[in-house]
């Protein structure tokens, strides 16, 4: 167990994206969707606006320093973006949150989740939305943190159109 863990939560830089891409794959493997991630490092750099272009998402990394490991090591990441509620206004959507297995049980998950809540508050968001696979044991963690399962409480279901269906439906105007 690490002694005196010190966490640093910050926006990712270009040099962090390789590690983020690796962790995206680790998360997909955990979620039993190993073939899911199609994004490249270049895509992530572009979409986070790290190349100077439009920013579509915020990529954060979580670093850990300990007495045994004084050089910061990247142990987790999260990706968020703005969404909007016609009832409450600006919202923040948490797409991914991940802590590498070797660094769990140090308080890293709680730290990164609270840091994301800080960002939502900083950006004047009225909600922090996210979805979790039904079998994922992290659901209990989120509920302990105060999250409400809308599928149960409000009977909201999460739907998605994939690219091919968007193509079929698009008006082409």
**Cα 83 to Cα 89: distance, rounded to the nearest angstrom:** 9
Two tokens at 158? 């999460």
Answer yes or no: are the C-beta atoms of 63 and 7 closer than 8 Å. Answer: yes
Most distant CA pair in the chain: distance in Å?
60
Q: Where are the alpha helices (DSSP H) in the chain?
A: 17-30, 41-47, 108-122, 138-144, 150-153, 163-169
Q: Is 92 a catalytic residue?
A: no
Catalytic option among 77, 98, 142, 159: 142
For the annotated catalytic residues, the residue numbers are 142
């Amino acid at each position: 167990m690490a002694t005196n863990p010190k966490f640093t939560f910050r926006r990712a830089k270009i040099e962090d994206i390789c590690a983020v891409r690796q962790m995206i794959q680790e998360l997909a493997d955990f979620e039993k969707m190993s073939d899911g991630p199609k994004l490249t490092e270049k895509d992530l750099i572009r979409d986070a606006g790290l190349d100077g272009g439009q920013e579509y998402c915020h990529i954060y990394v979580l670093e850990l320093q300990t007495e045994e490991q004084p050089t910061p090591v990247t142990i987790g990441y999260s990706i968020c973006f703005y969404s909007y509620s016609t009832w409450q206004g600006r919202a923040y959507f948490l797409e991914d949150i991940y802590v590498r297995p070797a660094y769990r049980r140090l308080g890293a998950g709680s730290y990164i989740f609270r840091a994301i809540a800080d960002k939502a508050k900083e950006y004047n968001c009225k909600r922090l939305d996210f979805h979790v696979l039904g079998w994922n044991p992290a659901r209990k963690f989120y509920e302990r943190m105060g999250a409400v399962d809308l599928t149960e409480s409000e009977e909201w279901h999460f739907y998605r159109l994939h690219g091919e269906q968007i193509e079929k439906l698009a008006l082409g105007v």
